Structure 1
Amino acid sequence: MFLKSGVSKAVIIGVVVVIIIIGVAAAFLLQKPPTKPLSIKIYTGGTGGTYYPLGTKLAELITKYSNGKIEATAVTSGASVANAKALDAGDAQVVFIQNDIAYYAHEGLYMFEGNKIEEIRGIATLYPEIIQIVVRADSGIKTLADLAGKKVVVGAQGSGTAVNAEQILKAAGLWDKITPVYADFKTGAQQLKLGQVDAVFYTAGIPTSAIVELSATTPVNLVEVPEDILKKLHDQGYAFYVKVTVPKDTYNGMTKDVTTVAVKAMLAVRADLPEDAVYTITKILFEHLDELKQAHKRAEAIKLEKALDGMSIPLHPGAEKYYKEKGVLS
């Protein structure tokens, strides 16, 4: 009897131990493995520009505030056109890009003719890149119409500035009435200084250091692009242009504020980036603007209520979800 009892106890203990081991093993097996963060690359621009410091800070903020869900890395690049191509190739998941370049990429126009990038999607427009039509202050050129019969530097061949210049001058009915000169701004500024050309187009944020430098020795003015031309641009399908005003104290030689148009720097993503990831990126962008502003003063122009101004490509559903939550979209 004693033996049987001892054996029974041993069997019971053994069974209990086995059950415990099986239970622990099952619980261990049922545990979800730690989720690996989504790794993304943000293509920016050159280290001397605006895109790089903003992109570097944005990558830091995404990694910091996504609760381990996203690990972002900023990458230097050749800016807008190169970034669109990197997005298409899958090398980049998020890019800084001008909204007009994004539009050309999505539609297969200009430098993307035959290489349409249909999978590019928008997160937000950020700040204006202003189309500046620079003339000497003593030139007598006051309006776009005054450019008729003049030599005009429209930007380097194949550049975004050259496309902006052609679109604006065609909208004004002036493209066939000017002599276009294809050159970069450095060359164009020197020609303007020497009186070899009459005007120079340049697309950039203000104040543009190269124009500040030029105006220090050669006072300049900017030619107005009036609202009726902006409307014509919109009617022609160029919805990415927005109205801006350049303050009169921007460059030496200006005597009044000048109305012109601008394209906008923006954030774009691949269409196949998960909706929850893009929602998180959009949320972090707008909820941590104070920290982003520490990276570059251009971030001061980034506003939630203006995030869709000049949006030239389809929105990513993740960004759309955030804007609907915030009442920016209905």
Structure 2
Amino acid sequence: MLRNIVCGLAIAFFSLGAAAESYKMTLSGASPSGLWTMIGVGIDGAVKDAFPGSTITYQTSGGGLANIALLDQGKVELGIAHDAELHIATLGAKPFRKPITNLRAIAMLYDWAPMQMVITKAFAEEHGIRTFDDIAVKKPPIRIAFNKRGNITEYVAVEMFRAIGVSLDDIKKWGGDVIYAASDEQGDLMKDKRIDMFTNGVFVRTSFIVQAGDAVDLVLLPVSDSVIKKISQELSVAPFVVKAGSYSWQPTDVATLALSAILVVNDKMDDKVAHDLAEALHKHIGKLQGAHGSLKAITPEFLTSQKTVPYHKGAEAYYREAGLLK
């Protein structure tokens, strides 16, 4: 009898311990508002549901490049980074001084942030520009706004121009200008007709593009297969098609490239912790899907679809258990 009581208490104790398990971690994102903040809310909600009492605290940062450095140094447990950022980190390319090879994926978060080359219709017609590649041929005096220096979308855009044989100095030599501006400022510059074109890697129908299109007639320039292939190989970003009608002024499909975002950790993270994170995101995927309208497309299979860096062993083990990886 006594033995049964002791065994029962032991079982209850260990069950209570498992049920009471919780995690306190910091997630390094980007700005204090915007999509990555909402992704942080979704991740926090999923982990809370799976492990009551847990808290995933969102920390602002300079973005994916900064997050990679923080993870490499063990200063945060979780970080969000774009595929292109992770790729250049593994190569040790600028701004990194050496290859960063100790990062591992927990889950893919999105892969639908296309590089959008938006030009005013008036300027495009005046200079005979129908495609992105035409800029290299026509050499127009174009005023272009890139995202702020250090932002990965600025980096990718510059590489795309290089792929068509155009440097930023070339643009200035043609009588044009190069401006660095955040997304909303790009929209304002376009509405005020202070630029002829902007380039950014954001979701289709992001508000600043829609609002700019309401004020000025715009064109979304298609990118050639050769540029898409070159940049895909060099930066580990994927081809993407902006479907016809995504904007009222865009009647046909437009080919380009898209950035992906990945939840990453240091490879020193305990296997069980990584396993539990993957399990939380899978079993409570609704928290991610509900965090922002653009995340509704996330599926269980999508969580395992990135190929830029290896999955953490613990996360990989869970996904295999769940039948999401073979």
Tell me the TM-score range normalised by the shorter chain. Answer: 0.7 to 0.9
**Counterparts of 2:193 and 2:295, CA distance in 1:** 37
Which of 37-46 and 52-61 deviates more?
A: 37-46
Overall identity of the aligned pairs, in %: 22
C-alpha displacement of 1:306: 3.2
C-alpha displacement of 1:318: 1.6
Match of 1:218 in 2: 216
Match of 2:64 among 80, 83, 95: 80
Match of 1:153 in 2: 145
**Counterparts of 1:229 and 1:317, CA distance in 2:** 35
Q: Cα RMSD (Å) of the superposition?
A: 3.0
Name the CA shift for 1:228/1:54 in 2 (closer, same or farther; >3 Å). same
**Counterparts of 2:304 and 2:207, CA distance in 1:** 28
Scaled by the length of structure 1, what TM-score is found?
A: 0.78
Task: Tell me if structure 1 keeps the 8 A contact 2:290–2:296.
Answer: no
AA of the residue aligned to 2:244: K
Q: Give the structure with higher Rg (CA).
A: 1
Match of 2:28 among 5, 19, 43: 43
State the SS of the aligned residue for 1:110.
coil
State the SS of the aligned residue for 1:243.
strand
1:3-58 deviations in Å (ceiling 9; x for gaps)? xxxxxxxxxxxxxxxxx9xxx9xx99xx8895764432222333421111221231
Scaled by the length of structure 2, what TM-score is found?
A: 0.79
State the SS of the aligned residue for 2:54.
strand
C-alpha displacement of 1:294: 2.1
Q: Which runs of 5+ in 2 are unaligned?
A: none
Q: Which runs of 5+ in 1 are unaligned?
A: 1-19
AA of the residue aligned to 1:270: N
Match of 1:9 in 2: none
AA of the residue aligned to 1:234: S
Match of 1:166 in 2: 158
State the SS of the aligned residue for 2:150.
coil
C-alpha displacement of 1:206: 2.2
AA of the residue aligned to 2:134: D
Match of 2:301 among 301, 305, 323: 305
1:48-85 deviations in Å (ceiling 9; x for gaps)? 2111122123123213213x6x8332223123233223
Match of 1:183 in 2: 180
AA of the residue aligned to 1:142: R
Task: Tell me if structure 2 keeps the 8 A contact 1:137–1:253.
Answer: no
1:207-249 deviations in Å (ceiling 9; x for gaps)? 211111211110212111244322222333x22x112222333
**Counterparts of 1:175 and 1:75, CA distance in 2:** 37
AA of the residue aligned to 1:157: R
Which of 185-194 and 79-88 deviates more?
A: 185-194
Task: Tell me if structure 2 keeps the 8 A contact 1:132–1:203.
Answer: yes
State the SS of the aligned residue for 1:114.
coil
Say if 2:78 is the partner of 1:54.
Answer: no
C-alpha displacement of 1:285: 1.0
Task: Tell me if structure 1 keeps the 8 A contact 2:29–2:59.
Answer: yes
C-alpha displacement of 1:328: 4.3
C-alpha displacement of 1:308: 4.6
Match of 1:256 in 2: 252
Match of 1:142 in 2: 130
